[in-house]
Amino acid sequence: MRIAVGMSGGVDSSVCCLLMKETGHEVIGITLRFHQDACETDGLRVCCSPQDVRDAVSVSERLGIPHLTLSWEQIFEERVVQYFIVESLKGRTPNPCAVCNREVKTGFLAEYLRKVANIDALATGHYAKFVKYKGSRLIARARDRKRDQSYFLSLVKREHLDMLLFPLGDLTKEEVRRMAQERGLMVWDKRDSQDVCFLMGKEPGEFIQERVGSTEGYFYFEGKQVGKHKGFFHYTIGQRKGLGVSLGFPVYVCGVNHERNEVYLCREEELYKNWLLIENLNTHLDLDLWGHPKAQVRYSSQEVEVSHIEKKENGYLVTFRQPVRGITPGQVCAFYEGDVLLGGGVIVE
């Protein structure tokens, strides 16, 4: 098979490339350049940099495979960065990594390379795997649960699934690093990138403020002004720290009004809801084949049992068997049966 491997210059994608080569496939390394500048901040590597491109080229040379770098700065800006800005200015907390997997570096890239490079599949270093479930080839959680990235793949279009391979799904991070060291890949001990890449170490609100300017407004608690804030886009549902409001008891962000630049505060118990609305539900498996799904409303949250999913005029209403803390518009709600990913969508309410 003719396999393209998405190479970020890190150890995961490098071992992914190694595995594809050792399996006997014809392999091409592909690196997407989203930024022109190096992004080292206080010793923390936070995004794709020129050094990452050089590392991907060096690994490709070591493995004896051809390598291409695609300058997709404009595509990334239009499809991911602008999405992040627009959603943030609606008062939501977007998940740009999940959108990027659909619109740029995973699903869309596989479709693009199939057309222009005649590849059979795109392999990536995601910690996830494919399984056969109810007659379909579906994404499932990785063996390394601490690294599992299936949640971020829930928006990938169903038609792109058959173009994708995830060779690291049954490996732990420690096994990946050891394999890279044993095979002489110089990136074996390279630090993992962290945070949203284009933020370059900034807080999300700080990044938005640089684009749109300062927009101070007021906090409200039970209908009364209780303090000033630095702009609604600096805050997310469930936030407690950094509010600068003292009422004698803990308060949390429970909502924003982007049109009036107001941020609403509440007691913790008011953060719990038993429903959410998804505008567009992306299904990897037909909805009528779902049995007893569970939902994950944030990457770091625990799964909760779904009691009902109902199609409405404005989207899909999802209700839960128990209240869920901090459901946040803009975040992704991913659905699972066991370890199998059924699909997902962006929370709008």
Strands 2-6, 121-123: pairing is parallel
Are residues 218 and 265 in contact, defined by beta-carbon separation less than 8 angstroms? Answer: no
Kindly give, in sequence order, each residue whose CB lies less than 8 Å from that of residue 77, ignoring residues fewer than 6 positions away.
none
Q: Sign (positive/negative) of CA torsion 195, 197, 202, 207?
A: negative
* Centroid of chain to Cα 342: 16
Catalytically annotated residue among 16, 48, 97, 197: 197
Measure the CA–CA gap between 326 and 343, rounded to whole angstroms. 21
Catalytically annotated residue among 47, 48, 100, 254: 100
97 given a catalytic annotation = no
197 given a catalytic annotation = yes
Kindly give, in sequence order, each residue whose CB lies less than 8 Å from that of residue 317, ignoring residues fewer than 6 positions away.
275, 276, 277, 308, 309, 310
Helix (H, G, I), strand (E, B) or coil at 309: strand
Reading the block at residue 162, the tokens are 């058959």
Helix (H, G, I), strand (E, B) or coil at 325: strand
Measure the CA–CA gap between 330 and 299, rounded to whole angstroms. 13
Helix (H, G, I), strand (E, B) or coil at 326: coil
Longest dimension (CA), the chain: 67
Measure the CA–CA gap between 42 and 180, rounded to whole angstroms. 26
**Residue among 54, 64, 66 at smallest CA distance from 187:** 54
Kindly give, in sequence order, each residue whose CB lies less than 8 Å from that of residue 288, ignoring residues fewer than 6 positions away.
none
Q: Give the catalytic positions in this structure.
A: 100, 197
